[in-house]
Amino acid sequence: MSAAAVPAAGSVSPRPAWVTDLPVLAVAAVWGASYLAAKGVTTSHTVVAVLVLRFAIVLPVLVTAGWRKLRALTAAQWRGAGVLGLVLSGIFLLETYRVVHTSATNAGLIISLTMIFTPLAEAAVTCVRPTAGFMAAAGLSVAGVVLLTQGGGFTSPSGGDLLMLLAALARTVHVLAMARIKAVRDADSLSLTTVQLGSAVAVFAVLAALPGTGASPWSTAAGFGPREWAGLVFLSVFCTLFAFFVQMWSVRRTSPSRVGLLLGTEPLWAAAVGISLGGEQLGALGAAGAVLVLAGTAWGRRAALGSVRRIRS
């Protein structure tokens, strides 16, 4: 791996790897829990409305808290963050629609392909082939997800599965773009997150105003009870604000491939939430799959760190 594969030249942090990895794993954990939360507040007729509400909850707080640094962004940084926000809106549309159109088993397996897509995409952009160790680790993690998600059984492919495949591709594009768009490399992470979320909520607001896109945000909010509002706040604060702030922060301190691998543990966390809160059973195959995901992720982290160390030396 060459220096071109590092998000920002000279920006690799000398701090211990786990300092960067733990927040990314926390993002994977909250995204794993987001399936259960989204299932409780979203129907096929309220997808766009829920997305408007999810983003609008935190956006005013972000704008108020970071107004000074937000105004300091350059035009190029606004454009770069705006592009990232458009990709982000696509990710959320695809993933939220899949919640109501495919099974948890299929979704967990397909989204894990991000672990393979990200290093392949990074290699295509940088013309540097991922190490054999990293690709083997990613493959091991995907194999683990196959076993992990077999408790519910892989169902026949559906339109929702295609949406999930497109979401995995969009996640890859988003992670890679955050590392490759020069204008956003040195900008304030909170400001960039604010612009991204603002761009995304603008897309959702336009879609909500179009006929045939389902219930309005206002009528959807009026029908929510305490449980639905709690789920929406969790999706907004943790699965949106926290998650994408951490991504902006971490992708400039490590490689996109490594971030993609760590985020690919999401199905493992989804299974943990399903077992602890949803009463699901893991089984022997699922337990073996969980071990493989953990082993593959640990192996991939070491392989990526070894590549970065060779670059710096």
pLDDT in tens, 244-281: 788 777 777 777 767 777 776 776 777 677 667 666 56
The pLDDT score that the predictor gives to residue 9 is: 36
Q: How confident is the model at residue 51 (pLDDT cuts 50, 70, 90)?
A: very high
More confident residue, 149 or 235: 235
The pLDDT score that the predictor gives to residue 262 is: 78
More confident residue, 207 or 299: 207
Q: How confident is the model at residue 11 (pLDDT cuts 50, 70, 90)?
A: very low
The answer on pLDDT for 295 being more than 60 is yes
Q: How confident is the model at residue 183 (pLDDT cuts 50, 70, 90)?
A: confident
Q: Looking at residues 189-209, what average pLDDT do you find? A: 90
Q: What percent of the chain has pLDDT over 70?
A: 75
pTM beyond 0.85: no
Q: Looking at residues 181-197, what average pLDDT do you find? A: 83
Q: What is the SS3 assignment for the chain?
A: CCHHHCCCCCCCCCCCHHHHHHHHHHHHHHHHHHHHHHHHHCCCCCHHHHHHHHHHHHHHHHHHHCHHHHHCCCHHHHHHHHHHHHHHHHHHHHHHHHHCCCCHHHHHHHHCCHHHHHHHHHHHHHCCCCCHHHHHHHHHHHHHHHHHHHHCCCCCCCHHHHHHHHHHHHHHHHHHHHHHCHHHCCCCHHHHHHHHHHHHHHHHHHHHHCCCCCCCHHHHHHCCCHHHHHHHHHHHHHHHHHHHHHHHHHCCCCCHHHHHHHHCCHHHHHHHHHHHCCCCCCHHHHHHHHHHHHHHHHHHHHHHHHHHHHHHC
Q: How confident is the model at residue 226 (pLDDT cuts 50, 70, 90)?
A: very high
More confident residue, 293 or 219: 219
Q: Looking at residues 86-91, what average pLDDT do you find? A: 90
Q: How confident is the model at residue 218 (pLDDT cuts 50, 70, 90)?
A: very high
The answer on pLDDT for 55 being more than 80 is yes
More confident residue, 59 or 117: 59
Q: How confident is the model at residue 105 (pLDDT cuts 50, 70, 90)?
A: low
